[in-house]
Structure 1
Amino acid sequence: MSHGRLILALVAVPFVVWLFLPVASNGQQLQRKIEQKRGEIEAKKRRERSLTSTIEGYSRRINTLQGDISTLQGRQTKIEADLANKRAELSRLQEELRKERARLTRLRARLAESRAALKDRLVYLYKADEPDLVTVILESEGFADLITRTEFMQRVSQQDARILDRVVKAKAEATATEKRLDRFEARQRKVTKIVSQRRLEVLAIKNRLVDRREQFEATRSDKRQALVSTRTSRKKLESHLVSLQKEEQRIQARLAGFSSAPGPIRRGNGSMIWPVGGTFTSPFGQRWGRLHAGIDIAAPVGTPIRAAESGKVVLASWTGGYGNYTCIQHGGALSTCYAHQVRYGTSVGANVSKGDVIGYVGNTGNSTGAHLHFETRVGGNPVDPMGYL
């Protein structure tokens, strides 16, 4: 085992060291951290449950909206089919309108012709001064001539009747055609308006539903991202908790080997007591070409270390190859030091009495096994501890 030498006298150098707490205190802090992490994890889990419930709610609302949209799409499909039928109907109406307009044009032309013919006939009759039936009978030269004249008069009357009938019928047909044309045009306007309104209504409702669904989907996406982030954070916390629990288990395992009582004080022939009651394994003196500045006493990890003499703790910190290292000033130039501790049992500035537990045997620093390296120093210089034990 190798050890460094202290450069300055322990009594002359003010020590500014970090205060190491006992394992029990560290364990309490660790336990508080574990409880804190558990609380944070539980909060994350509650947040996850809330987000999951919220996401499920949005999913249900989106599904409902999708159902409404699907219904509207079905309705829109029917309206489109109806629109196609209405367009076909409009096309037929337009064809009928075209035919009726053409027919009306022909009827008007025929009516004009019939009126012209009737007018010409009336003018002719007026100018010709044709005889009436009595005149025809009186001027006939016999029965055969009378029959001939009578038939002629009948044909003339029938022709006039036909002309007049043609005029009446042509006028009536033209009037009826105009009425049908008006009905067709009104029907065309009504069908066009209805189809257009229904399309616009369905499209407006569908657009509103699509907008709401997109808003819900965006919100659900945000919630999912928050859920992923929360789960990631929770997993990190759980991982940290596992590390803390493992550390706690290590501490508990380490503490399990500590004696609940420091055991009997071992006394020698000198003024100081033995710091531990283990096996003496290595003396003070030169070893491997350098000074072994103390003695080594083998003992199990966790064995309590007693103060060899009363005094004030002036050093309790990690010191190079010494590992966890504690030094006590006993007055004058004398001091004792204790190396390779697994943990401290005191702190800088504490006043300790002979026999008080100031630490626990360990294997920290440059050490090949659990033991206490014990030193005595005068004016900071190492001297053989056996002269004091």
Structure 2
Amino acid sequence: MHPWISIIHFYYRSLLSAQILSLTIGFFCITYLILSNFSQLSIENISPKTWIQSVLTNNTNTIALNITKQDINSLVDIENKSFICDRMRKNDGTREVNVSSELDDHLVNILRPYCEIVPILRNNWIPAKRYIESDIIFIIYTSASFYHTRATAVRDTWLSRVTHKYFFSQTPYPSLPVTVIEGVGETYSSNIKKIYYGMQIAYKNHNKTAKFYFLAGCDTFVNVPHLLKHLESFNYKQPIIIGGYPNKHVCYVKRNATNDIISYPSGGAGFLLSSHTMNMMIPKLNSYFENDWPLTDDKAHADAALSCLAHSMGINSTFVPGFWKFNPEKTLTDIGKEKFYTNPEPNTFHYIHPLFMYVLDEFYIHQLLDRLGNDKNFDELMKFTRQFVLIHYELLRIKKRECTLPEVERIKE
């Protein structure tokens, strides 16, 4: 992942003297400032060969703009370019000259297929204004069998760019790192205990500052910038649960089923609890799971259990678009492009294979860079790039500690 700078060289010939050439350059700079302020044109997209003509009139040099309709269309295309989706091989089948063949194959064959699957946005990025990522505590439940696959993929991708995060499980593993909850086990049914014990740990550490708590498993991809935008209309001081893909489940009192059947957000797609909801839940959490909810394998639905507890306190779930229960490919197949594209900025996808956790994260990183660059939002672009580079090298340091290279077998002379 090496930084690169695209440099555009302008080559043009002139018979002007050095003095007149200086005037030309000066006038061009003034023209650029005017265009960039009033027409939002970027110097990278201005071609002196076709747009600027030097005309000698009465022994003076003037600059005439010769902008054609074709130039304007070309400019629009450039300013809405997608690094992945517009990547094409040359007519003779050769690759782009600025990347290796292996990288080009990855961009074309692995990343570009998503251009036909998920909504493609090229510009008009509007960042979240009400909340920032450090307002959310991310709680990920996992197990030892997934440490080297799912959990590591999550750690290396979207979760690397958030401030407050927890992996909850029974088995220690410093590389993630895992917050250990002793005695809960490592089976699927243990997730419910990992969640409600983990919620108490996270609440104890962050209840003074947290605004939301996000819960999901280790095979969920989260687009955090999109998630923050979907929280704009919600007040963390109100008792709310936010998620998507509603399911139905019966609630329990003293281990017995009641007549209450609630709609609850799918835990696979992830869901959020406001800090006010956590304030209400935490004092009742232990009693509810010890006395009311049946902790059997067939009832180990932490998402339903938490929603039933919330329901008993008068809190109903709020469902918003963009929390997808399945991966992008299956989501498109199941519901079709029209419904899938209704919300073009998805929050989450579930059932993401570890290898495709990296692919999906890389794809959406490029899409965000496209949008910021096409919008000329250089402040936001620089802010994101700085953060990404810092995290990248932190991950490299972690990987260096984790990985042991094989010994080099020297050839005996």
TM-score bucket (shorter structure): under 0.3
Give the greater-gyration-radius structure (CA).
Answer: 1
- Pick 1 or 2: higher relative contact order, CA cutoff 8 A, min separation 6: 1
Task: Output the TM-score relative to the length of structure 2.
Answer: 0.21
Counting helix residues as a fraction of each chain, which structure ranks higher? Answer: 1
